[in-house]
């Protein structure tokens, strides 16, 4: 009896797990973008400089997300969320 089928199954499970983990990160970015958009719609009391930075971080976060750089996207969006005091 060969162990080749078992190795194929283990490899397939590992690949699917990695794909699922990557997908989970990908879906987190849009949730953060929506939180930022919702907060901006409420006209937060920010200085012009803060508002400009939040908008830049929001746009940069989306661009990084679209480029597949999800951790960088999350880090950038987190800056905007901190300025907006989003928990």
The pLDDT value given to residue 28: 84
Nearest to 77 by CA among 37, 20, 24: 37
pLDDT tens, position by position, 37-56: 999 999 999 999 999 999 99
Q: Which residue has the higher pLDDT, 14 or 9?
A: 9
**Is 28:36 a contact under the CB 8 Å cutoff?**
no
Residue extents of the structural domains in the chain: 24-83
Task: Tell the CATH topology of 24-83.
Answer: Substrate Binding Domain Of Dnak; Chain:A; Domain 2 (1.20.1270)
Gap between the Cα atoms of 81 and 46, Å rounded: 13
Q: Which residue has the higher pLDDT, 10 or 86?
A: 86
Q: List Cα–Cα distances, 68 to 22, 25, 64, in angstroms.
A: 9, 10, 6
pTM over 0.85: no
Q: What is the mean pLDDT of residues 16-23?
A: 54
């Amino acid at each position: 009896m060969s162990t080749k089928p078992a190795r194929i199954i283990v490899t397939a499970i590992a690949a699917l797990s990695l794909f699922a983990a990557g997908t989970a990160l990908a879906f987190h970015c849009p949730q953060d973008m929506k939180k930022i958009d919702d907060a901006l719609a409420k006209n937060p009391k920010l200085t012009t400089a803060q508002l400009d930075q939040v908008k830049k971080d929001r746009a940069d976060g989306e661009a990084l997300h679209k480029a597949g750089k999800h951790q960088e996207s999350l880090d950038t969006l987190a800056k905007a969320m901190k300025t907006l005091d989003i928990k």
